[in-house]
């Protein structure tokens, strides 16, 4: 039987396999995030085509449903990226993860919060042998990362989301970002972008901690910040940006 395609010349399974292969290709991922590389446009085009075939519904809209309401509504993914969903619970339409009831909502981070033209959020793990970290996280955390990248126009690489050996990561409440526009966040040449990203994340609703090479702070529900004084914690986060959602 002929396999169904999505107008991109690939069926969804094949496209997703190619995405996984691309994520393991360090050179491709570096070019994808480096806007100044001469191959960047071709890499973005390839990445966009693959995601268009693999996740056709998420390229346009995500169907959401009010809690306790049976009527679905089409909401642009840009609204999701800007954290405008509020109490809406995402239904599964591809990358979103179904969640019901009054508990925390989880979903994947959108790699294209502003659409195929960018910015791009990638999920390459720089630890050899470890899987990529494109895993569901808390809704407010996903929205914070998307909105920060979108507002600043920065490509970011998320190298850790959910993992079993560390809370709040194990609870889906934290992500780590190790590269901005293809460059490590602890590279002195990238300090300005690291500072901008951390400040933007600190302003996001639902975020209660931001650690990294420039700032190490706890954020209270009113938006006030208090410096983290634990030197061990500070040292552990000099080479990546850690953002944490409150319980």
pLDDT for position 184: 95
CA pair distance 177, 108, nearest whole angstrom: 15
Cβ atoms of 95 and 108 within 8 Å: the answer is yes
pLDDT for position 79: 35
What is the domain partition of the chain in residue ranges? 12-245
Q: Mapping DSSP to helix (H, G, I), strand (E, B) and coil, where does residue 84 land?
A: coil
pLDDT for position 83: 36
pTM: 0.66
pLDDT for position 4: 45
Q: Which ranges of the chain have pLDDT less than 70?
A: 1-9, 33, 35, 55-103, 128-132, 164-165
pLDDT, tens digit (0-9, with 9 covering 90-100), for 175-200: 999 999 999 999 999 999 999 999 99
Cβ atoms of 22 and 44 within 8 Å: the answer is no
pLDDT, tens digit (0-9, with 9 covering 90-100), for 37-48: 888 778 877 877
Using DSSP bridges, classify how beta strands 183-184 and 225-227 pair: parallel, antiparallel or unpaired.
unpaired
Torsion of CA 48, 175, 207, 73, to 10 degrees: 40
pLDDT for position 143: 93
């Amino acid at each position: 039987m002929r396999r169904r395609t999505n107008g991109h010349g690939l069926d969804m399974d094949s496209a997703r396999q190619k995405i996984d292969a691309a994520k393991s290709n360090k050179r491709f991922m570096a070019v994808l995030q480096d806007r100044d590389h001469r191959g960047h446009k071709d890499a973005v085009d390839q990445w966009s085509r693959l995601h268009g075939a693999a996740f056709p519904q998420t390229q346009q809209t995500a169907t959401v449903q009010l809690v306790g309401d049976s009527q679905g509504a089409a909401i642009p993914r840009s609204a999701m990226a800007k954290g405008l969903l509020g109490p809406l619970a995402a239904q599964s339409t591809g990358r979103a993860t179904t969640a019901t009831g009054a508990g925390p909502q989880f979903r994947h981070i959108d790699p294209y919060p502003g659409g195929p033209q960018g910015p791009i959020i990638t999920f390459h793990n720089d630890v050899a042998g470890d899987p990529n970290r494109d895993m569901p996280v808390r809704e407010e955390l996903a929205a914070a990362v998307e909105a920060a990248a979108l507002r600043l126009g920065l490509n970011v690489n998320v190298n850790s989301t959910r993992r079993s050996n560390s809370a709040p990561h194990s609870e889906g409440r934290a992500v780590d970002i190790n590269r901005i526009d293809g460059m490590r966040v602890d590279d002195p040449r990238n300090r300005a972008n690291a500072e901008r990203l951390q400040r933007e994340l600190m302003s996001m609703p639902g975020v209660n901690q931001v650690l990294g090479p420039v700032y190490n702070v706890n954020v209270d529900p009113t938006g006030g910040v208090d410096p983290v004084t634990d030197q061990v914690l500070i040292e552990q986060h000099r080479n990546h940006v850690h953002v944490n959602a409150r319980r």
